[in-house]
Amino acid sequence: MQIQTIMADHAIGPIHIVADGGRLIAMEFGDTEHRLMPMLRARFGKEPMLEPVDDLNEITSAIRAYFEGDLAALDAIEVDGGGTEFQRRAWEALRAIPPGETRTYGQMAAALGRPNAARAIGMANALNPVSLVVPCHRLVGSNGSLTGYGGGIARKRWLVDHERRHASQIQLRVVA
């Protein structure tokens, strides 16, 4: 296992990116980095050795493009977040939510065929190791309010607004 890491500055602040063999395995915002190593220890059973690198090519390029308005750029990033079968299904469903749109925890549970599992969706969302790329910021409370985001509600609001702004620009170009 060759786990590489880079801290990169972006429009929303520094992001710590961790990859193994070109696959994104963890991502944390700079001010929530204290969550990173416990998450990696829980997954791998020990504290992995992280090799700092200057660039992670496709991953960092795609994230940069996303912040510049290319909302589809994150789709190209290969992700390996570990997790249980249910968590992986929930995370895959998150990636299917179009940028600029949101879903409630209940809607996600229903989409996965488990209409009473909104809390389980919330827990899977909270344990998402690759936020942004697996867009847990696209889940909202049953009344549409922004709730529960490990990176903070202000950052969640920024991401949702960023996606809505750029998604609407894309729609305007398609219509014109």
> What does the pLDDT read at residue 13?
87
Q: Give dist(CA 102, CA 85) in Å, integer.
A: 23
Closest-CA residue to 133 (of 38, 60, 50) = 60
CATH tag, 3-76: 3.30.160
Fold exhibited by the domain 85-175 = Arc Repressor Mutant, subunit A (1.10.10)
Closest-CA residue to 100 (of 58, 62, 60, 69) = 69
Q: What is the pLDDT of residues 55-86, one digit of tens each?
A: 888 999 999 999 999 999 999 999 999 999 99
Q: What does the domain layout of the chain look like in residue ranges? A: 3-76, 85-175
Residue tagged active-site, from 56, 77, 136, 160 = 136
> What does the pLDDT read at residue 175?
44
1 catalytic residue (yes or no): no
